[in-house]
Amino acid sequence: MNRQEIRTRIEETGIIPAIRISSAEGARFAAEAVAAAGIPIVELTMTVPGALDVIADLARNSPRVMVGAGTVLDLETARACVDAGAMFLTSPGLDLALVEFALKEGVVVFPGALTPTEILTAWRAGSDFVKVFPCAEVGGANYIRAVKAPFPQVPLIAAGGVNQKTAGEFILAGASALGIGADLIPPEAIRLRQADWICELAHRFSHIVKSSRAQRMGH
């Protein structure tokens, strides 16, 4: 997939499931479960043990899953992730060197940013999206609405504190996509290998995104 196709898939799906768990096997299981439920994207955070091997495994053996790397904190890790097959890179904070690297490599990048200055800086540097993180702690959907007003052209991903109660509000506020962790992939569901549980949550979140987008278009 090229950069444009990856960006389009993220935009269309509107959900980026973040896998932050303590085993490589569990991470594989979670990725397959969300993909089977119709969300063909996973962000594998670098905090997962053996994360690079899981990325390489998914990139090679699960063609329906678009796998990216999360919590990428330095260029060395970014290079290893891209070499392993990561199609997008994301970080909790704004690192312009990471954005520059991703653009050079032709992979999608969405750094974390919080203030209007950071959001503008990330966008000007060429980021595909800007991940507003941690969102809930600074006002949630109201904060997205507030920063979207001066930056209508910047596609924002809301991350941090997105759950079934708040997901719709974030979309209505103008978020292009949502970064969702344990509320979509509960560690307990992975421990018990309950794909149905993850599948049910994936369907719920997908429905929330779809109906909220329709509502937003209707306004």
- Catalytically annotated residues: 43, 131
Bridge partners, residue 113, by sequence: 132
Q: Considering only CA atoms, which of 69, 63, 66 is closest in space to residue 48? A: 69
Q: Considering only CA atoms, which of 100, 122, 102, 101 is closest in space to residue 111? A: 122
Strand 130-132 and strand 108-113: the pairing is parallel
C-alpha pair distances (Å), 47 with each of 70, 106, 143, 170: 9, 24, 28, 26
94 and 113 in contact (C-beta within 8 Å)?
yes
SS3 158: strand
- Per DSSP, 27 falls in state H
Q: Considering only CA atoms, which of 150, 212, 201 is closest in space to residue 177? A: 212
Q: Which residues contact 68 (CB under 8 A, 6 or more apart)?
A: 16, 41, 42, 43, 44, 86, 87, 88, 89, 90, 108
